[in-house]
Amino acid sequence: MWLRSVPRLRAPFLSASAPRLALGDRRVLEEPRQRIYLSRSLSSGDVKWLRPIDRESLLFHLVHNRGSRMGIFLMTLNSVNPLKTEDIERALFHLQRKNLAMRVDIRIRDDVWWFCEQDGYNVDFKMLSEGASSVEECRRMCERGFPDGATWKFRMIPRGKEAPCVMPEVKGDFPYQYDVLMTSHHALGDGLSVSLIVKRMVELLNDVILGRHVDDEVTSRFSSREECYEIESRITKMLEEDPQRHDYVRETMPDASPLLLRAFPRPSGNRVTTGYLTRIVDHEATQNFQRQCKAHGVTINGAFTAVINIAMARLVQKSGISQRSYRIASNHRVSVNRYLKQTPRDVMDGYPLYLSHISNITSDRVTSHFWEYAKEVNRELREGLTSELPFEQKMARLMAQPNLVEEWARNPPPVVHDYGITNIAHFPMPERRKDDQVMVTDVNSVAMVHKYIHMLLFLVLTVRGRCSYSLSYATDYFTDDTAILLADEVMSVYREVSEMKEA
């Protein structure tokens, strides 16, 4: 029977018996041949035990330790003088001291995974040599997940005074340049939460270099998710009592093979990796796009979704598949904070919540009527968000297949979405002060998507007036050439609709 109840979860005791794999790399990650088993148990004297791990966090933990689902911020930092390793370590010490989530670890206690608070401060930070490769370091950061205690990783790579800068106008005052790579356990924070941590790290680094006093104010807390599970219980009960609504929710979720795979069959070979590429839209095109969104009453996220959908439909057309309409299914990362009333705003959380959206694009809209289509997509997304549809979809999936966390981690369900999208919008930059010693000049984001729920994931953000999006793709689904075709087509549509005359 499809409809099955899901018990209310507060802090479920979940076993640590599932095997964990460490993955290697092709461009970013590749599956190795060796299986690594981890087993660790600490006494209560080593750490402060917080609570048993919950369902969502266990899934992240198992998948992370297979090298997948990790997200990395790649930031460019420019400084007035060469940075001292001890200053960076001091800034990270304050960052961890002021943010409880950065002191949380996931460890085994009596054969059960628990959240615990580290005894002391221990950030996994390394200053690498100037010739180090950011791509290779991304691989090393992701290939083992978080098996050894630290749930945050920072790396810095000096690039020297001669390195090109995306903001050449500041190079004279901030001549020294560094690549900063940061990743965290997804159970502790989503992309937005972690972007705020990155912002605070830069602020603290400025304070440390200038010798400013750093106060004891706590700037973020660690979520208990009680309110999330209360919503889950309410939604589950509602779906059980309202079969008609339950059927409607099921119809909003895709259950077929993605459209792109018809035009671009999966590559042969056994490599299971994540590849990625990035596209940056210049300041003028970004402003034009935002202006068009405002004029048509469409959010940037809704319009960008429409851009991707049109680009995919065009790409399928160009491949020789001509039909009256094209069905494209997208999966949108949703911040759970929009549904929480009791949880304080300063709580960090990585609770996974998505909105599935199915769009049927008629042939005429592939070549024209873009903003009319964008309004339709925007309206559908807004209605889904305001009606709690993301929670309903999540619980409908769990009601169909409860208690499969470890199985999903080992053998993820078939991919049914054409792509996923995470939109951070405007990356939170530190407020500029005249005596700043460091400043952020560029930011990109990458996610490990292989062996998880997506075959393509767009990560969209705006940095200092420029839109940037990266495309992470599973190489057992797409070749590098296909990924490049898609990224270029998205860029082409973005520029085209940005320059349209307003109606």
DSSP 278-344: EEE--HHHHHHHHHHHHHHT--HHHHHHHHHHHHHHHHHHHTT---SEEEEEEEEE--GGGG-SSS-
427: pLDDT confidence band, cut at 50, 70 and 90? confident
With a pLDDT cut of 70, the percent of the chain lying above it is 89
> In this predicted model, what pLDDT tens digit does every residue of 248-302 receive, in sequence order?
999 999 998 999 999 998 898 777 889 999 999 999 999 999 999 999 999 999 9
Structure pTM?
Answer: 0.87
> In this predicted model, what pLDDT tens digit does every residue of 472-481 receive, in sequence order?
999 999 999 9
Whether 86 shows a pLDDT value over 60: the answer reads yes
pLDDT of 382 reads: 97
Class of the CATH domain delimited by 29-222:
alpha beta
What is the pLDDT averaged over residues 110-121?
A: 85
Between CA 395 and CA 381 the distance in angstroms is 19
Whether 21 shows a pLDDT value over 70: the answer reads no
Whether 502 shows a pLDDT value over 60: the answer reads no
319: pLDDT confidence band, cut at 50, 70 and 90? very high
Between CA 105 and CA 151 the distance in angstroms is 6
Highest mean pLDDT among 226-230, 242-246, 345-349: 242-246
Contact (CB, 8 A) for 348 and 99: yes
- Looking at per-residue pLDDT, the higher value among 215 and 364 belongs to 215
Type of residue numbered 466: R
pLDDT of 302 reads: 96
120 torsion bin: left (phi>0), alpha (psi -120 to 50), beta (else) = left
Contact (CB, 8 A) for 165 and 171: yes
13: pLDDT confidence band, cut at 50, 70 and 90? very low
151: pLDDT confidence band, cut at 50, 70 and 90? confident
pLDDT of 273 reads: 83
Mean of the per-residue pLDDT values of the chain = 85
User: Which regions of the chain carry the CATH code 3.30.559.30?
Assistant: 226-264+275-428+440-498
121: pLDDT confidence band, cut at 50, 70 and 90? confident
DSSP three-state, residue 8: coil
Between CA 117 and CA 105 the distance in angstroms is 6
Type of residue numbered 408: W
Cα–Cα separations (whole angstroms), residue 299 to 75, 237, 335, 463:
26, 33, 16, 17
Whether 440 shows a pLDDT value over 60: the answer reads yes
User: Which regions of the chain carry the CATH code 3.30.559.10?
Assistant: 29-222
Superfamily grouping for domain 226-264+275-428+440-498: Nonribosomal peptide synthetase, condensation domain (3.30.559.30)
339: pLDDT confidence band, cut at 50, 70 and 90? very high
For residue 487, the 8-state DSSP code is: H
